[in-house]
Amino acid sequence: MNLLVLSWQQIKYLLTVSKQQQQQQKLSQGPNIAFKVASTEFIKQVLQQVYKEKDRYGWGHSSQKEEQDNLIDKKEKPTVVIDYSSPNIAKPFHAGHLRSTIHGNFIKRIHQIMGYNVIGINYLGDWGKQYGLLAIGYERYGDREKLENDPIRHLYDVYVKINQEAESDPGIDQLANDYFKRMEEGDENVLKQWRLFRELSIESYASIYKRLNIVFEVYSGESQVEEFIPKIHAKLEEKGLLSKTPDGAHVVDLEEYQLDKAIVQRADGTSLYLTRDLATLMMRMQQYTFDKAIYVVGAEQEGHFKQLFKTAELLFGSEVAERLQHANFGRINGMSTRQGTAVFLQEILDVSKGKILDYMQQDKARYDEELQQQSMEYIDTIADQLGVSAILIQDMKAKRNKNYTFAWDRMTDARGDTGVLLQYAHARMCGIERKANTPVTIDCDYTLLKEREAFELVQQISLFPELVEASFKTLEPCTLVNYLFKLAHTISTANNRLRVKNMNPELAASRMLLFWAAKTTLSNGLSLLGLRPIERM
C-alpha cells in the first residue's frame, strides 16, 4: 500500500493502532514501538518522494494525471484554451480585469502541470463602437509623443475627454458609429491608426504582465475575427435561428430556454459582443481543435455566457457546448489609492510595492544593514515581488465567486495569513539551508525525526498532491492557498523546536532533509499560484 497517496487514512490508522496498543499495555506515556516503526517508514517515504520529484512534487499523484501521462506518451496531449485578463484598449484596467488575470493564470498553470497543452489568450477589447469613439477623440485630443510614452494612460485620457464631450453633443455618437462602420468595411486609412494603437498598447501591457510573472501565448481580440462573422450569420440562417426585429436588428430567440432574445446584428449592420464571441469560438475551433475552452470572466457576465453557450450548442452541437466553461468570480472592492480609484494595473502594483517598502523602512537599523549587504535594485525587486504576492494571495484566499474587500493595511502582515507570510516562511527555509552547512541527502537516519513537530510537518507535506488535485477539479486556488497557510504555520512551529545548525551531523542531516522538503513543497505551491518564491528577505 502506498502510504503517500493515502496519507490521511494511513495517519488515522497509525494513530488508532497506537492508542489501542497503549491502552492494552497500560502505557502511561509515549507511542509504542509498532507506531514508531510505522511512522518512521511513513516519514521516509514522504521525504524520499519529495527528494525524487523535487520541483515536480505534487504534480503526479492523481488518477487524472496518470490518464494525462498516458495520453502524453501517445502524443495526444489534450488542449485547453484559456481566455483571461482581456482589458479594453483605452478603458481602465479595473479590478475585474485584475481578478481575471490572477485566476486565469492559476487555471493555466494547474492545467499545465496536469499534462494539458495550454494556450493562454489575452482577448483584448480592441473593436466595436467604443473604438470609433476613441478614434474621434484622438483626432481632437491626441498627442503622438504621449501616445508612445504611455499608450494605455494617454488613450484612456483621450477616451474620458471625448465621452464628456459626447454627453453634450449627440452628434459625436453618430460620428463614432460611422467611424466603426468604416473599420468593419476595411477602410485602410482608419485601420492603420487602429493597428498603431493596438500594437503600442500590447507592448505596454506585456511589460506590466511581466511583473506578475505572466506570459500569454496569444494576444488576440475582437478585431481578429471579422472574416468569421459572415460565416456565423450564414450558419445561423442555415439552421433557421435568425429572426428580424421591427427596427431591422437580427436576433436569435432563446426565450424557450429562459434566456431572452439575443441580438447578433444591429439594424445598421454592425456586429455585437455576442456575435464576435461566436465568431471567435468558430475561429478557435479551427485553429486549436481544443478539448476544453475556459472563459475567466466576472459573474456579472453570466447571462452573456449562458446565451453564448446555448447559441453555440444550437450552431455546433452539444459536443462543442460541453467543452465550454465559464470560470466566474465575484467583485473586488476597496482597491483605491490616495489619488482615487486605482484603474491602471501598473498603479495598483506600484502602490502595493510602495507599502512594502514603507514597511521595510520601519525598522531603520535592519533596513540600513540590508542596504550594506544588498543593492537598492535588489531590495526594490524584493519589494515588488512581495507586493505582487500580497495582492495575489489576498485575492485567492476566498472562493472565486465571493465578493471581497481588499485591505491594504493587512497586506504587509508577516504574522497573519498573507502573501508576505508565505514568502517569509520560504525565505526562512532557504536561510536554514544557507547557514547550516549541511548537505541535503536521503542517506540519513529517519528514526531521529521522532519529535511530534517533525511528524506533523511531514504529514502536511504529504497532503500537497491531494490538495493540488482538489484545486484542479474545482479550479479554486483558495484550496491550495489555505493549505499553504497551514504548511507555513507548521514550518514555523517545527523551526522553533528543531535546530539544524551546530547539531551533531546525523541529526542535522535528517532535519535538513525535512526542512528542505518543506521548502520544496512550499515553493511548488507558490509557483503554481503564479508567485516567484523569494529566497532572502
Determine whether 91 is an active site residue.
yes
Query: Which amino acid, one-letter code, is at 462?
Result: S
Residue with cell 507586493: 387
**Closest to 182 (Cα-Cα) out of 131, 235, 237, 108:** 131
Cell of 49: 518522494
Is 326 assigned a catalytic role? no
- Name the catalytic one among 44, 65, 97, 519: 97
Angle between helices 188-211 and 151-168 in degrees, nearest 10: 130
Rounded (5°) CA angle 47-53-56: 125
Classify residue 265 by burial, with Cβ atoms within 10 Å: 0-12, 13-18, 19+: buried
**Helix boundaries (H) for 212-238:** 229-238
Query: Which residue, 334, 519, 329, is CA-closest to 410?
Result: 334
Q: Residue 269 is which amino acid? A: G
CA distances from 249 to 51, 264, 268, 270 (A): 64, 8, 8, 10
- Residue 497's identity, in one-letter code, is R
The yes-or-no answer on residue 233 being catalytic is no
> Catalytic one among 94, 108, 233, 326?
94
CA nearest neighbour of 86 among 226, 262, 221 = 221
Structure-derived torsion over alpha carbons of residues 210, 148, 130, 285, reported in degrees to the nearest 10: -40
- Category of 220 on φ-ψ map: left (φ > 0), alpha (ψ -120 to 50) or beta: beta
Cα 96 to the chain's mean position, in Å?
13
- The number of CA neighbours under 13 Å toward the Cβ of 218 is 15
CB 354 within 8 A of CB 335: no
CA dist 124 and 267 (Å) reads: 25
Q: Catalytic residue among 36, 77, 91, 231, which?
A: 91
DSSP alpha helices (H): ranges in 142-272? 144-149, 151-168, 171-184, 188-211, 229-238
Active site residues: 91, 94, 97
